[in-house]
Amino acid sequence: MRGKKGGAACGDQVLIQPTTPGQGVIENILPRTTLLYRSDAFREKLIAANVTQIVIVVAAVPSFSEELVNRCLAAAESQRIKALIVLNKADLAEPTRTAAATLLLYRELGYPLLQLSAKADVTPLLPYLQGQLSVLVGQSGMGKSTLINALIPAAQRATAEISVALDTGRHTTTHARLYHLDQSSRLIDSPGMQEFGLHHIDEADLAWGFVEFHPYLGQCRFSNCRHTGEPGCALAQAAEEGRINVRRLGFYRKLAASLGAAPRK
């Protein structure tokens, strides 16, 4: 970037001014169709721009954070980006069976759920990537880099062993990078994350990020209901009657509480 103007994100389309052979400066960032980023009360971290699909990569080993899955889905919904959940390391049969049972809820909500083993065969993923600008997101150790290497052998992304004792993966990807699968399909690999801050999303948009809440929003007794325990809450009643999964409402309330935990920008 020229000077200290706003930063570009992986996936941005930019105008450049060549300077010396093989080098140049970014003069302008063209308008974005989508922008995926995470934030806390004090800073923002750009992840990718102009993406049409977010691919949330999880695995049974090390264990994945269901809260992080919910945060990624809410971020995708806020930008009207399609979401796909990939359960990697399906060769670990018994742990994968347990993880798949947890993720069944999201398939029932309409999110595609794909089981595969990046080390064995990634071809089931290819139809989902066709014609899309996809970004891989997820915790360290879920196998994103292994997926990239299987899809694009020339990428040679670094991988690392997971820690069984700590139930975590090691951070190997330090920056986002875009790869071309074919003329119409591109894929961005992003650094592993343990948290996905949503401080840039207000509570109304956060509730809208939970797709099954849509029929009940605006139906509460109070127009400013935060759905966190107020009387006459339509979401709470729907959960009591089994029309909304109690687990999802719990995740929403935890996310809503985190938005109010620190001063907003």
Residues 6+ apart with CB under 8 A from 113: 85, 87, 100, 103, 104, 106, 107
Which H or E run contains 205? helix 203-208
Q: 164 and 85, same structural domain?
A: yes
pLDDT number for residue 5: 62
- Nearest CA among 29, 28, 74 for reference residue 50: 29
Q: 208 and 174, same structural domain?
A: no
pLDDT number for residue 263: 40
Query: Does the residue 21 lie in any domain?
Result: no
* Tens-digit pLDDT string for the chain (265 aa): 877 666 889 999 999 999 999 899 999 999 999 998 877 656 778 889 999 999 999 999 988 999 999 999 999 998 999 999 999 999 999 999 999 999 999 999 999 999 999 999 999 999 999 999 999 999 988 989 899 999 998 876 544 444 444 444 444 445 789 999 999 999 999 887 766 767 778 777 899 999 999 999 999 999 999 999 999 999 999 999 999 999 999 999 999 988 864 444 4
Final residue of a domain: which of 156, 189, 222?
Answer: 189
Q: 102 and 146, same structural domain?
A: yes
Q: 217 and 148, same structural domain?
A: no
Q: 86 and 53, same structural domain?
A: yes
Final residue of a domain: which of 131, 158, 189?
Answer: 189
Query: Does the residue 99 lie in any domain?
Result: yes
- Helices 66-78 & 93-108, crossing angle to 10 degrees? 40
Question: String of b and e for 112-149 (b: at least 16 CB within 10 Å)?
Answer: ebbbbbbeeebeebeebbeebbbbbbbbbbbbbbbbbb
What range does the domain containing 209 cover?
Answer: 203-259
Q: 180 and 60, same structural domain?
A: yes
162: left (phi over 0), alpha (psi -120 to 50) or beta: beta
CATH no. for residue 122? 3.40.50
DSSP for residue 125: G
* Bond from prior residue into 62 cis (ω within 30 degrees of 0): yes
Q: 165 and 80, same structural domain?
A: yes
| Residue 105 C-alpha from the chain's centroid | 17
Query: Does the residue 8 lie in any domain?
Result: no
Query: Does the residue 91 lie in any domain?
Result: yes
Q: Which two three-digit tokens encode residue 78?
A: 């806020």
**Residues forming a β-bridge with 191:** none
| 99: helix, strand or coil | helix
Residue 160 backbone dihedrals phi, psi, to 5 degrees = -145, 155
Q: 169 and 118, same structural domain?
A: yes
| Domain count of the fold of the chain | 2
Q: 235 and 126, same structural domain?
A: no
Residue whose tokens read 């690392």: 160
Q: 208 and 184, same structural domain?
A: no
CATH no. for residue 224? 1.10.40.50
pLDDT number for residue 80: 93
